[in-house]
Structure 1
Amino acid sequence: MLRWAIIFLIIAIVAAIFGFGGIVGAAAGIAKILFFVFLVLFVISLITGRRTTP
Structure 2
Amino acid sequence: MILLGVILLIIGFVAKIAILWTIGIVLVVIGAILAILGMAGREVAGRRHWY
Mark yes or no: TM-score above 0.5. Answer: yes
Structure whose residues are more often helix by fraction: 1
The one-letter code of the counterpart of 1:17 is: V
Task: Give, in angstroms, the shift of residue 15 of structure 1.
Answer: 1.3
The structure number with the bigger radius of gyration is 1
1:39 aligns with 2:36: yes
Say how many residue pairs are matched.
Answer: 42
RMSD of the alignment, in Å?
A: 1.6
Runs of 4+ in structure 1 off by over 2 angstroms are: none
Matched, 1:28 2:25: yes
Higher RCO structure (Cα 8 Å, ≥6 apart): 1
Structure 2 unaligned regions, length at least 5: 43-51
Question: Normalized against structure 2, the TM-score is what?
Answer: 0.63
Between the two proteins, what is the percent identity of the paired residues?
A: 7
